[in-house]
Amino acid sequence: MYRKIIDKLVKWHEQSDKKALLVTGARQIGKTYIIREFAKKYYSKFVEINFLTQHSAKDIFSGDLDFNTLQLTLSSYLKTTLVKGKTLIFLDEIQECPNARTAIKFLVENGSYDIIESGSLLGVQYKNVPSYPVGFEQVLHMYPMDFEEFCIANGVLQDTFDYLHDCYSNKREVSLAIHQKMLNLFKYYTIVGGMPLVVKRFVETNDLYKVIDTQKDIVSLYRQDVNKYSKDGQAKIKNIFDTIPSRLEDKNRRFTVNSINSNARLRDYMDSFLWLKDAGVALPSFNLSEPVIPLQLNEKNNLFKLYLSDTGLLCSMSLENIQFAILTDNLKINAGGIFENVFAQSLKSNGFELRYLNRKNIGEVDFIVQNYDKVIPLEIKSGNDYKKHSALNNLLNNEAWHLAHGYVFCRGNLEEEGKVTYLPWYMIMFFKQEKPDLNSVPKLDLSGL
């Protein structure tokens, strides 16, 4: 299945003076698969070590870490000759061998081989690395499949994407037939999610029961990870993880520790929250004191929502038959939290940090994102009353912050009304983080000095 991250791997490959590339993200998102596929196409020599399954490989990095020793021990262990300038060394599940990350510096300094590392829970394991390879490592975050990748896996043609992007760019309505099909496909993405194995199962079988079984296997694997990698606080981490669905089903989706334990204090659980964040399992969204750039300085770290990194896994942990309620538009089921989750997942993979605004004089706006030099409020609507958004109106009409525009993602077609643009759910695939044009920055002129 096609993954966009392959383009970033190719860009890294084309660099003349490259660092080691660390591909990190949650378990079961396809890191190993995509790196192998990339290696097949771009390298004549590819060697792989998986520290999770090849325990003896850790001995390679237990002694001297100079380049000559590493080259000799690697060749001996792998029983092959490493060809300079043509070999990719892939160190998988590198969190299992902290010394290997220290050794990266010496392999990169020599420049004979390209190095890719991959692993999960690296944020949790950082304290075990004897010497962090600062300056020798480029980090690439990977996420579950996004909606566009899900569409490609399901056979959506490039001409369709081009047409939809043209509608998005020029603010034109989408034809009714395509609009309805894309809405239905987005509903399926909401309940299937972006775990590659789950998507593959869905594409091959179209059997939602098999999809749900696969999702539950992955959720079980995540719980096992808590036991394996968490040195303490396992019960707290599991409690938070298991409570996420019920908090998102609640009208007030803010996460509070008293929903776990009435006597709990936030500071007692903070390490557990950070563990889930660093493991790539949970996505926190922090409340803002005000929507002013830079947003990070206005975060209230003690007020936050907690989303799962994959909406399909969330559905498998939620109310029974929530999948069928979403597909059949059963409005008796509160699916607002699940739709918020799918947009949190999408915004994160599109390069945005997650934040929201909840103030007494405004109300609650689902997401506030910073896109280069602009602050943009977003509302996510799952029902038919998507034009009711008093909090967004209050925010846009507040003269203190001068916000120019807001977006509502909904089941309706593309439409503009005043300061608000209504976008169909599926157009989230085009809403991406803009990068500043550094070429427009004035050049430094020191001639007068």
pLDDT value for 347: 97
**CATH superfamily of the 5-141 domain:** P-loop containing nucleotide triphosphate hydrolases (3.40.50.300)
What does the pLDDT look like over 7-40, one tens digit per residue? 999 999 999 899 999 999 999 999 999 999 999 9
Least confident interval from 76-85, 125-134, 203-212, 403-412:
125-134
Domain ranges of the chain: 5-141, 147-430
What does the pLDDT look like over 225-249, one tens digit per residue? 888 777 668 888 998 999 898 888 8
- Token look-up 């500043």 returns 436
| 382 and 336 Cβ atoms separated by less than 8 Å | yes
pLDDT value for 127: 59
What does the pLDDT look like over 372-389, one tens digit per residue? 889 999 999 999 999 999
List, in sequence order, every residue forming a beta bridge with 2; answer none if it has no partner.
none
Q: Is the pLDDT of residue 60 over 80?
A: yes
**Mean pLDDT in the chain?**
92
What does the pLDDT look like over 339-368, one tens digit per residue? 999 999 999 999 999 999 999 999 999 999
Please give the C-alpha separations between residue 345 and each of 144, 179, 191, 351, 424, in angstroms, as whole numbers: 8, 22, 13, 10, 17
In one letter, which amino acid is 158? Answer: Q
Q: Is the pLDDT of residue 217 over 90?
A: yes
pLDDT value for 437: 67
Peptide bond just before 294 cis, omega within 30 deg: yes
Q: Is the pLDDT of residue 264 over 90?
A: no
Which two three-digit tokens encode residue 136?
Answer: 């020798």
Q: Is the pLDDT of residue 126 over 90?
A: no
Number of Cβ atoms within 10 Å of the Cβ of 377:
26
pLDDT value for 7: 96
Q: Is the pLDDT of residue 123 over 90?
A: no
Mean pLDDT of 171-179: 98
pLDDT value for 258: 75
Residue with the larger pLDDT of the pair 132 and 238: 238
pLDDT value for 376: 97
Q: Estimate the crossing angle of helix 234-249 against helix 266-278, to 10 degrees.
A: 90
Which two three-digit tokens encode residue 119?
Answer: 């692993």
Q: Is the pLDDT of residue 441 over 90?
A: no
Number of Cβ atoms within 10 Å of the Cβ of 238:
17
| 343 and 409 Cβ atoms separated by less than 8 Å | yes
